Amino acid sequence: MKTVRLTIDKKVVEVQAGKTILDAARIAGIHIPTLCHHPDLCVAGNCRVCVVEQVGVRTLQASCAVPVADGMEIITNSAKVQQARRHILELLLSEHRSDCVNCYKNNHCELQDLAAKYIFTPVTLIPLPALQHYTIDSSSPSIIKDDSKCIRCQRCVRTCTQLQHVTALTVSHKGHEQKISTFMDKLLNDVVCTNCGQCVNRCPTGALTERNYIQEVWDALLDPNTHVVVQTAPAVRVALGEELGFDVGERVTGKMVSALKTLGFDSVLDTDFTADLTIMEEGTELLTRLKAVLTEKADAGTLLPMTTSCSPGWIKFIEHKFPDYLTNVSSCKSPQQMFGALAKTYYARKRKLNPAKIVSVSIMPCTAKKYEADRPEMRSSGFKDVDYVLTTRELARMIKMAGIDFMSLPDQEHDSLMGESSGAAVIFGATGGVMEAALRTAYELVTGREVPFANLDIKPVRGMEGVREANITIEGCLPEWSFLEGVELKLAVAHGLTNAWEVMQAVKQGKAEFHFIEVMACPGGCLGGGGQPIPTNSEIRLKRAQAIYEEDAGKHIRKSHENPEVLALYKDFLEAPMSHKSHELLHTYYIERHCN
Amino acid sequence: MEKTVLEEIIYRQGAQRDRLLPILQDVVEQQNFLTEGDMLHIANLLQMSAAEVYGTASFYSFLPLNRKGKYMIRLCKSIIAKMKGSDQVLAAITDQLGIKPGETTADGVFSLELVNDIGWSDREPAMLINDKVFTDLDPVKVTHILTNYLKQASTQAFVTNLSTN
Amino acid sequence: MTNTSTVRKTDLIFGRSLDTLTLLRNAMQRDKDGLIQELIDSGLRGRGGAGFPTGLKWKFAKGAPGNEKYIICNADEGEPGTFKDRVILEKAADKVFAGMGLCGWLTGATKGFIYLRNEYIWMRNHILAQMNDMNEAFRQMKLDFSIGLKMGSGAYVCGEETALIESMESKRGEPRNKPPFPAIAGYEDKPTVVNNVETWVYALLISYIGADVFAAYGTEQSTGSKLFSVSGDTPKPGVYELEMGMKLSDFVAEFGDGDTKAVQVGGASGFCVPRRKFDQVIIGFEGIPTGGSMMLFNSHRSMYHVLHNFLEFFMEESCGQCTPCRVGCQQLLLGIEAVKSKTKPAQYLDTLMEFTETMRLASKCGLGQSVGNAFNSIVNEFYEEMIY
């Protein structure tokens, strides 16, 4: 690899050719402020906060956009740079409604951070007239878009387009009218938005935030007449700590449970329980579909490939973009919604509670889960199955509000009845996890033997590659599964909707034949979800994934079909996977949606 | 725009992302503006996001996104135009047609916009009506021009009536 | 190479010379490197306003690897007060196209485009006819080169070459980050030469008259002549081909109405020169360069209105992607209104001028970088008019 030598603030730096000045400065330990730059996204070079002086060049250079060259002399802190940086921040502040103390992102705002660092004299600029007549789009149950906080860095647009292939957001108009829009400036809830919240994760200000249900949950907790149950998604436990003083990648499962109990939840249960249940249902569904295709010569195209259905961002994406493939999506509800349906039926019955008095809350790494809970189909208990969805960030905020000293909390276990889970459920939080969990169960069901991977770790489906493919040949089937003997199962895992789109394009064009596809809408899977702590980048996601696999390895039960509470649930209530009752409570259907 | 007409345009230009602007230009040339339906249909056929079509179209001043009249008047508002009396020309247009910049006459015949320099600083005030240019305007001259257009429009309406009856 | 005391008119572009195809055929008899050297020696710099040496640009493109290269004529003439490209395209489009063909032959490019602003749609048929004739001529002279027409859709910023390229690719006309420059990665990421309408004609003419004859006009840094678009308070608005390097006082003597108070040199993105500085200013790269726009204002005109008009223009025509330009233009306009209405003190003008320095240093493209030219020169020279 060719390297380039340059000096930054008189320090000689040698870096790979093709790196930017910003990259080189970071390698040299020199801090340059940025706003539009994001490590997950392509270069924009439009906020100009990162400008530096290059000796011999007439204008300042945007360090995020200019590649290094031999002999370059860069100054990152000259008087010229300082003034330009301060001016640019002042200009941004003049188009930003700086109502910081009333802002949901107060203290979590990159613009505010930079202002705190670089602005030390009163700003004299005139607030732009547009700030006097703004509207806030709160049409979506997941995301709130407030243009008066927008600084046009376009991170959201790049996220929505590059990472997610959704392009619900675009840049529209020009000059003083330029802004971030949807198609025809429609409401966010009326366009292709999948509610994935990846834009929220990358918005430097309060322009895009999750719609929060903190007050609603407090109200429920403080109401003596309700029984509030909470479920915690697998990926929350490996990221919540980041908001509360822990290093990235530290697992805080036990403290999370303690904190939830302290907050006053009547029962702290686990989405992991229904993740195991999902494997039972979805694994059975896959085998049923395989059987139909292999033995009954059913119409293969509508049954296979089967895709997972746990990611609500993916569901809305396929409803908008590949409506012809809705029959290919597993009919299983997501673990969150399975939990919700059971909380107000099975749990209520077992605990002798009036389901009307149960408030069902979920803690999710996800903003799309808020939308999912609001879908009209999700009322199979006769009530709204999941009442409120909080993101990891909202939970952290409630913990802070309650004055809980999170770090010193003791570790506690989830409550029983829908609190037990296997390692297979935990790994739902990482890309490839549902696939791995399903294989652990389905392979054993079909062959009577464990999957042939050391420690049950199915390494080929793990990792951060955008699309991963794996083939597993089934040999030594039990008699009732003999139709699968010698079949090579073709599997694919995709995370991030752009990768999902590519896999589906390949399927659509007949270029790929898969039996089973796992799709997670967010990069890295749920651990990189839109409701997770900010910031996000590939390094952070990798650490969270490591934590997830550690949690799995430490579980005494590693396979979903060995979860005793799940087995009890079937025995006492559901009878069998894909039973009539299961269909009623745990399965759903999908809706074709317009493509704009 | 009729879907068949739009599809004909797209067929002629090629259904590719990099033909978007020529397609939008052709639509605007025929009906003077773009509708939501047009943009959606174009997005579908070009296999791109509707938001991106909208984002691209809204960048350009000559691709209007709301209903415009049959004749699009674009009066130059450059400093030279102002110095040469474009405000009086504007007043004459407003008097005659009863519309202000950004508006369309009730009968849908004329729309009026003020635009940046159109390249006639030697002969301002100047304006475009669709793809024709008019220079050295004054209130009297512009009134004559618009009267001719009005006649043309009513003759056409008459002919259309005849042929439909 | 001396400054004449009066404005020297030339007639290279519209004058009678050899017929266009003969010019092209003659040029194509020559050694390619020699011809490019001739262009470099002539000192010809881009006539759109930025003034990059044309010969060098062509040399880079010739040296760029690969055989897919593009030649683009920038006919997105949108600078307020400019209309000379309109006249060239009306009267001498064949020379423009022949110049492009010459560049194609020199650089190995086989495809060219003219990007014509939508405001000139009325001449589209004329352009198409001229273009088709020239393409036919290329075919007959076995020159593997053809030109296509791309229409603009109404955006001043598309005059910036990378924004123009984005627009040609059917995107929003937003300037790109540079590097890479178009000579390396332009249209469809291939090496691309973008020149102004006028530059193509001069390049063709220089291949015939020679660098020496061309460089005999003008000054050392501003050789040759160029077309000027003269407008405003003048008895004879129009397009004139004048020697580069003239004194502004001579220009005013020729074109003024006897009461000229200020001249805006180079359009809204250029500089305003007040009467008392007319004889200190040279029109050219050693003084004030211009893409050709020369707007004259007499003592009846309010320079506040002039500046207000320019700032409205920039506020609307900024592409909006970079902060200094998008917000800066709005702040400058709000600022002069606030000073005029006494809601801000006069000193606020000085603050605004500091901001124009940031716009110059930190904007992504030439649009934002040059807004301060008009702002600072008008505010400094007509400070009182801004306040009272």
Q: What is the ipTM of this complex?
A: 0.95
Q: What is the pLDDT of residues C301-313, one digit of tens each?
A: 999 999 999 999 9
Residue C292 sits in the same domain as residue C310: no
Dig out the tokens for C99 from the structure. Answer: 């110049």
List the CATH number of the domain containing C284. Answer: 3.10.20.600
Three-state helix/strand/coil letters over chain C = CCCCCCCCECCCCCCCCCCHHHHHHHHCCCCHHHHHHHHHHHCCECCCCCCCEHHHHHHHHHHCCCCCCEEEEEECCCCCCCCHHHHHHHHHHHHHHHHHHHHHHHHCCCEEEEEECHHHHHHHHHHHHHHHHHHHHHHHCCCCCEEEEEECCCCHHHHCHHHHHHHHCCCCCCCCCCCCCCCCCCHHHCCEEEEEHHHHHHHHHHHHHHHHHHHCCECCCCECEEEEEEEECCCCCEEEEEECCCEHHHHHHHHCCCCEEEEEECHHHCEEEEHHHHHHCEECCCCECCCCEEEEEECCCCHHHHHHHHHHHHHHHCCCCCHHHHHHHHHHHHHHHHHHCCCCCCCHHHHHHHHHHHHHHHCCCHHHHHHHHHHHHHHHHCHHHHHC
The amino acid occupying position C232 is G
One domain, residues C195 and C48:
yes
pLDDT at A525 over 70: yes
pLDDT score at A527: 98
Instruction: Please give the domain boundaries of chain A with CATH numbers for all domains.
Output: 3-77 (3.10.20.740), 92-210 (3.30.70.20), 214-273+336-408 (3.40.50.1780), 279-334+421-540+547-586 (3.40.950.10)
Rounded to 5°, angle at Cα A244 from A238 and A250 = 30
- Residue C43 covered by a domain: yes
User: pLDDT digit string (tens) for A229-286?
Assistant: 999 999 999 999 999 999 999 999 999 999 999 999 999 999 999 999 999 999 999 9
Provide the mean pLDDT of chain A: 96
Q: What is the domain partition of chain B in residue ranges?
A: 3-57, 71-164
Per-residue pLDDT reduced to its tens digit, B124-139? 999 999 999 999 999 9
Residue of B25, B123, B133 with shortest CB distance to C153:
B25
Asked whether residue C9 is assigned to any structural domain, the reply reads: no
- Is residue C310 located within the same domain as residue C374? yes
Is there a single domain that holds both residue C181 and residue C308? no
CA distance C357 to C73: 31
Residue C2 lies in a domain: no
Shared domain check, C278 and C138: no
B55 touching chain C per CB within 8 A:
yes
Q: Tell whether the model's pLDDT for residue A302 goes beyond 90.
A: no
Find, in chain B, the residue whose alpha carbon is nearest to that of A183: B51
| pLDDT tens column, A54-69 | 999 999 999 999 999 9
Neighbours of chain A (3+ CB pairs under 8 A): B, C
* C153 and C285 inside one domain: no
User: Across the interface, which of B61, B121, B131 has its CB nearest the CB of C122?
Assistant: B131
Counting the structural domains of chain C, the total is: 3
| Tens of pLDDT, residues C22-76 | 999 999 999 999 999 999 999 999 998 889 999 999 999 999 987 799 999 999 9
Same structural domain, C177 and C107: yes
Mark which of C265, C282, C301 sits at the end of a domain: C301
* Whether A498 contacts chain B with CB within 8 A: no
The alpha carbon of residue B84 is apart from the nearest alpha carbon of chain C, in Å, by: 8
| pLDDT for res C3 | 43
Per-residue pLDDT at B164 exceeds 70: no
Residue C209 has a pLDDT of 93
B45 to chain A, any CB pair closer than 8 A? The answer is no
Q: Test A167 with B44 for CB contact under 8 angstroms.
A: no
**Is C10 part of any domain?**
no
C288 and C229 assigned to the same domain: yes
Q: In this predicted model, what pLDDT tens digit does every residue of A29-43 receive, in sequence order?
A: 999 999 999 999 999
Pairing of strands A488-495, A467-473: antiparallel
- Residue A410 sits at the vertex; the CA angle it makes with A404 and A413, to the nearest 5 degrees, is 110
Give CA separation, C302 vs A83, C306, C379, C385, in Å.
32, 7, 12, 7
Looking at residue A46, its pLDDT comes to 96
In a domain, C15, yes or no: no
Residue of chain A with shortest Cα separation from C348: A124
Amino acid C1: pLDDT: 38
Tell me: do C67 and C110 sit in the same domain: yes
B·C CB contacts under 8 A? 120
Rounded to an integer, the average pLDDT of A86-104 is 96
Q: For the residues A90-111, what does the mean pLDDT come to?
A: 96
Q: Chain A: which residues have CB within 8 Å of chain C?
A: 43-49, 51, 59-60, 62, 65-67, 80, 83-84, 87-88, 91-92, 94-95, 124-126, 128-129, 151-152, 154, 171, 173-178
Mean pLDDT in residue range A430-445: 96
Q: State whether C26 and C174 are in the same domain.
A: yes
What are the strands of the beta sheet with A208-210, ordered from one edge? A136-137, A143-146, A208-210
Do C169 and C211 share a domain, yes or no?
yes
Local structure of A258: helix, strand or coil: helix
Assigned token pair, C9? 């008119």
Name the residues of A annotated as catalytic: 282, 285, 310, 330, 369, 372, 377, 526
Interface check for B47 against chain C (CB to CB < 8 A): the answer is: no
Which chains pack against B, by 3+ Cβ pairs within 8 A? Answer: A, C
Question: Domain ends where: C186, C215, C244?
Answer: C215
Spans in chain C with pLDDT lower than 70: 1-5
Are C318 and C286 within one domain?
Answer: no
| C324:A88 CB<8 A | yes
What whole-number distance in Å separates Cα of residue C41 and Cα of residue C216? 11
> What are the residues whose beta carbons fall under 8 Å from the beta carbon of C347, sequence distance 6 or more?
none
Class of domain B71-164: alpha beta
Chain B residues whose beta carbon lies within 8 Å of the beta carbon of residue A186? none
Considering chain B, what is the average pLDDT of its residues?
Answer: 95
pLDDT band at B163 (very low <50, low <70, confident <90, very high): low
- Domain boundary (C301, C325, C341) is at C301
A335: closest CA among A390, A410, A274, A381?
A274
- Which range of residues forms the domain containing residue C57? 20-215
C329 touches chain B (CB under 8 A): no
- Distance, CA of A531 to CA of A200 (rounded, Å): 8
DSSP A340: H
CATH number at residue C369: 1.20.1440.230
- Any idea what the CATH number is for the domain that residue C96 is in? 3.40.50.11540
Picking from C172, C173, C358, the nearest residue to A84 by CB comes out as C358
d(CA A439, CA A559): 10
Query: Is C307 a domain residue?
Result: yes
Taking an 8 Å cut-off on Cβ atoms, the answer to whether B22 and C83 are in contact is no
Mean pLDDT within B7-16: 96
* Rounded Cα gap, residues A461 and A468, in angstroms: 6
3-state SS assignment for residue A143:
strand
Model pLDDT, residue B165: 52
